[in-house]
Structure 1
């Protein structure tokens, strides 16, 4: 396993790519696949999570900066502001895409351009901006608040959205029931866990190639062994697309 994708024989037909991301990320990623891979790939959208806002509000406290670890976190920050909740403009973000959404929503983002560990390091460097308010889903990985608190940096977490599991679509199931190569990019541990559960429910004839955003995502697939699995060198969707492009194009 690793970011150096092994070459596969060139195919005479387009490779289905099952996209399990929530909307609207799923549709956007499908558009990026069409742009990058052209007629070599066919995106099949089958979200395994449906996101909804929690309605929770932060305690009456003066925070110095937000901590955002997902696009939905950035969207929930905007929702809080629209509801009249006073929150900081400054937002420390786990990655560049989250930072982009935060900027579009009127916040001033600083990106760690990495994963939760990179974000914690960035926050410790900027501890003067504490107290931090981490907006996250009901399954928050990386224990960001705990790690900051252990370093005597004040931080509070708030669940601002829920992630409800979905089943694979009939189109995705049909694709998996046929012989041939199928690509499966996976972006979160929870999605990978649901994916593993879903494909255990029926006979899969397709030859699956998994592309994981991080080792934490890959860990959720260990029950599928033997499994063709590549892990991105960098936790970005660009790295995922690059791995798939390599698998399609190298001789």
Structure 2
């Protein structure tokens, strides 16, 4: 029996994030079509640069916080902590979920500000400041061509909002859609037809890549 065709990937995070994720699955054909564009917005930069502690729920907020100078950074997960460390902050890493930051916030002994995007999945018990916007984008021509072909396309969902936006774009496509969701909250926002789906065991890129491989193994069995 001939081997089944290798499923393809549709990656919709901002391009640097998507390229990092594609490198974790080098044997897969991948098309990148960001569903969101990150745009800085005006904010009180002087105050943000002076505060002794920051709460980061996304690496996209780190550049707005200015030089780290060893300041405390409470980070949602490993990727955000890495970005904060590279910027000169002293990070404390959570478990990948916003809820995991709560004990870190309670234990902090310095004033904190949470710089974040205009669209926020969860409020935290700390002062917030909008420093960027996440502007919805349509799928590009390469993504539309990918979805017009028959066969499986694996789609990783990294947030509830991207799940909502993307499911509106993927109605009535020829491709067989497989969904790998980073959380049950992201999965719950998916509205388009799905051939198979799974939720990652933890909210990390590594676990998401493993979830996609698991979907492919199910196809081959």
Query: TM-score w.r.t. structure 1 length?
Result: 0.79
**How far off is 1:123 after superposition?**
1.4
Q: Could you tell me whether the CA contact under 8 Å between 2:168 and 2:192 is conserved in 1? A: no
1:168-190 CA deviation, whole Å, 9 max, x = no partner? Answer: 11111111122111100011111
* 1:242 aligned onto 2:213: no
8 Å Cα contact 1:65-1:88 kept in structure 2? no
C-alpha change, 1:226 and 1:184, in structure 2 (3 Å) is: closer
CA displacement 1:24-73 (0-9 Å, x = unmatched) = 11122112221xxx2xx211111101101113125748634100001101
- SS of 1:128's equivalent in the other structure is coil
**After superposition, what is the alpha-carbon deviation per residue over 1:58-98, rounded to whole angstroms, capped at 9, x for unaligned?**
57486341000011012322xx34xxxx9871100000100
Query: Which segment is superposed worse, 23-32 or 181-190?
Result: 23-32
**Which of residues 2, 27, 32 in structure 1 aligns to 2:19?**
27
Deviations 1:137-174 (A, max 9, x none): 00112211xxx2xxxxxx31010111111111111111
1:54 to 38, 41, 60: 41
Length-normalised TM-score, structure 2? 0.89
Q: Is 2:58 the partner of 1:70?
A: yes
Separation (CA, whole Å) in 1 of partners of 2:189 and 2:4:
32
Task: Please list every run of at least 4 consecutive aligned residues from structure 1 whose deviation after the TM superposition is greater than 4 angstroms.
Answer: 58-62
**Structure 2 unaligned residues grouped into runs of 5+:** none
1:14 aligns with 2:6: yes
Q: SS of 2:5's equivalent?
A: coil
1:12 offset after TM fit, Å? 3.0
1:233 matched residue in structure 2:
201
Consecutive unaligned residues in structure 1, runs of 5 or more: 1-9, 149-154
Distance change in 2, residues 1:11/1:113 (3 Å): farther
User: Hey, what does 1:207 align to over in structure 2?
Assistant: 176
Q: Residue 176 of structure 2 contacts residue 194 of structure 2 at CA under 8 Å; is this kept in 1?
A: no
The 1:186/1:193 distance shift into structure 2, 3 A limit, reads same
